[in-house]
A and B are shown apart, each in its own frame.
Chain A
Amino acid sequence: MQKSLETGAQLSKEDLIKLSDEAKNNATPSTFKIIWKEFKADKMALFSLIFLVAFIVFVIVGSMFINVSQMMQTNIMNYFAKPFTSNFLLGADAGGRPILEQLIVGSRNSILIALGLTVISSAFGICYGLISGYFGRVTDLSMQRVYDFMMIIPSFMIIIEIVNIIPNYNAITLTLLLSLFYWMGTQRLIRSQVLAESQKDYVSASKTSGSSNLKIIFKQIMPNISSLIIVDTTISFAENIGVETGLSYLGFGLPVGTPSLGTLIANANDADNITIYWWTWLPATIEIILLCLAISYIGAALRRATNSTQRRSTD
Chain B
Amino acid sequence: MKNKELLKVNNLRVHYPVRGGFWNRIVDNVKAVDGVSITIHQGDTYGLIGESGSGKSTTGKAIVGLEDATKGNIYYQGMDITKKSTRRKLKYNREVQMIFQDPQLSLNPEKRIADIIAEPLRNFEKLSKEEEKIRVIQLLDIVGLGPEALYKYPHQFSGGQRQRIGVARAVATHPKLIVADEPVSALDLSVQAQVLNFMKKIQEKFNISYLFISHDLGVVRHMCNHIAIMNRGRLVEVGTKDDIYNHPMHIYTKRLLAAIPETNVNQRKAHHENRLAVEKMYQDHKSEYYDEKGEALPLQKISETHFAAIPKSRVNLLKSGSGEVSD
**A and B held together in a complex:** yes
CA distance A210 to B272 in the complex (A): 48
User: Is B304 interfacial (CB-CB < 8 Å)?
Assistant: no
State in angstroms the CA–CA spacing of A20 and B147 once bound together. 8
Known A-B contacts A23-B149, A205-B106; A8 and B119 likewise in contact (beta carbons under 8 Å) = no
A220 at the interface (CB under 8 A from B): yes
Does B120 make an interface contact (CB < 8 A)?
yes
Please tell me if the beta carbons of A8 and B130 are within 8 angstroms of each other in the complex. Answer: no
A135-189 interface (Cβ within 8 A of B):
none
Across the interface, A207 reaches (CB within 8 A) one of B66, B133, B138, B205, namely B66
Our pick among B110, B151, B166 for the contact of A27 (Cβ within 8 Å) is B151
**Contact A23:B151 (CB < 8 A) given known A11-B137, A209-B120, A220-B108:** yes
Contact digits for B184-209, partner A, Cβ 8 Å, 1 yes 0 no? 00000000000000000000011000
With beta carbons under 8 angstroms apart, the residue of B100, B120, B135, B151 that contacts A201 is: B100
Decide yes or no whether B30 CB sits under 8 A from chain A: no
Q: Are A27 and B65 in contact (CB under 8 A)?
A: no
**B99-133, CB under 8 A of A: which get 1 and which 0?**
01110011111111000000110011000001001
Q: Judging by beta carbons under 8 Å apart, are A8 and B108 in contact?
A: no
Please report which residues of chain B, range 261-292, place their CB below 8 angstroms from some CB of chain A when the two chains form the complex. none
Interface size class of A (residues with CB under 8 A): 20 to 34
Asked whether A204 lies within 8 Å of B135 as measured between CB atoms, the reply is no
Cβ A28 vs Cβ B156 within 8 A: yes
Within the assembled complex, what's the spacing in Å between the Cα atoms of A19 and B134?
Answer: 11
Distance of A201 Cα from B183 Cα, bound (Å): 13
Question: Which among B66, B91, B138 has the greatest number of chain A C-beta atoms within 10 A?
Answer: B138
Whether A286 sits at the interface, judged by CB under 8 Å, is: no
Check if A69 is an interface residue, CB within 8 A of chain B: no
Decide yes or no: A201 and B147 within 8 Å by CB, A8-B138, A27-B152 being known contacts.
Answer: no
**A7 pairs with B138, CB closer than 8 A:** yes
| A208 CA to B88 CA, complexed, in Å | 11
Chain B residues touching A, range: 35 or more
A16 and B93 contact, CB distance less than 8 A: no
Q: Is B64 an interface residue (CB 8 A)?
A: yes
Contact status B106-A204, CB under 8 Å = yes
Question: Are B147 and A206 in contact, CB atoms less than 8 angstroms apart?
Answer: no
B156 contacts across to A, CB distance below 8 A? 28
Q: How far is the CB of A308 from chain B (nearest CB, A)?
A: 10
Given the known A-B contacts A200-B105, A205-B169, A224-B109, are A20 and B150 also in contact in the complex, defined by CB atoms under 8 Å?
yes
Instruction: Flag whether B315 is at the interface (Cβ < 8 A).
Output: no
B250 interface contact, C-beta 8 A: no
Cβ contacts under 8 Å, B109 to chain A: 202, 224
Assess A211 versus B119: contact at CB under 8 Å? Given A22-B148, A205-B98.
Answer: yes
- The residue on B at minimum CB distance from A202 is B108
A23–B93 CB distance below 8 A: no
**How far apart sit A49 and B146, CA to CA, in the bound complex (Å)?**
42
Give the residue name and chain of the A residue nearest to B171 (CB): A1
| Contact between chains at B153 and A206 (CB < 8 Å) | no
Instruction: Say yes or no: is B94 at the interface (Cβ < 8 Å to chain A).
Output: yes
Specify which chain A residues have a CB less than 8 angstroms from the CB of B105 in the assembled complex. 200-202
- The contact of A210 among B91, B108, B112, B135, by CB within 8 Å, is B91
Contacts of A19 in B (CB 8 A): 137, 147-148, 150
Q: Is B59 an interface residue (CB 8 A)?
A: no
Q: Hey, which bits of chain A sit against chain B, CB under 8 A?
A: 1, 4-5, 7-9, 11, 13, 16, 19-20, 22-24, 26-28, 200-202, 204-211, 220, 223-224, 226
Task: Identify the 5 closest CB pairs spanning chains A and B, nearest first.
Answer: A210-B123, A223-B110, A201-B106, A209-B120, A23-B151
Chain B residues with a Cβ under 8 A of chain A: 61, 64-66, 91, 93-94, 97-98, 100-102, 105-112, 119-120, 123-124, 130, 133-135, 137-138, 141-142, 147-153, 156, 166, 169, 174, 205-206
* 12 sampled A-B residue pairs with Cβ under 8 A: A1-B205, A1-B206, A8-B138, A8-B141, A11-B134, A16-B130, A20-B150, A27-B151, A201-B101, A202-B108, A204-B100, A206-B108
A4-B141, A26-B151, A210-B120 given; 14 more Cβ-contact pairs under 8 Å: A1-B174, A5-B138, A7-B138, A16-B133, A27-B152, A28-B152, A28-B153, A200-B105, A201-B106, A204-B66, A208-B66, A223-B108, A224-B108, A224-B109
